[in-house]
Amino acid sequence: MYENPFEEQINALKEGTIAELVVEPKDFTTFREVWKNLPDRMSFVGEAGLNGRIIYHYIKEAK
């Protein structure tokens, strides 16, 4: 069974274990496969970096 390497990294970002997640252009499709199925995907904010890199941060919603 195929396990997407971004599942663990996205969870670490959400839990605050890591502050940011850098996604290279070649890895974006793999990242998107996990991201698009998240119920809180709008809390992941991407910032364009150099050479097509995207730097994601997780913004917790106020409850």
Q: Is residue 35 part of a domain?
A: yes
- Residues of the chain with pLDDT > 90: what percent? 86
Is 34 a member of any domain? Answer: yes
Distance CA 29, CA 26 (A): 7
* Domains of the chain: total: 1
The structure's pTM equals 0.86
Token pair 């995907």 is found at 41
pLDDT over 90 at 39, yes or no = yes
Which domain does 46 fall in, by range?
A: 6-58
User: What confidence score (pLDDT) does residue 29 get?
Assistant: 95
Distances (CA, A) of 20 to 24, 30, 44: 13, 17, 10
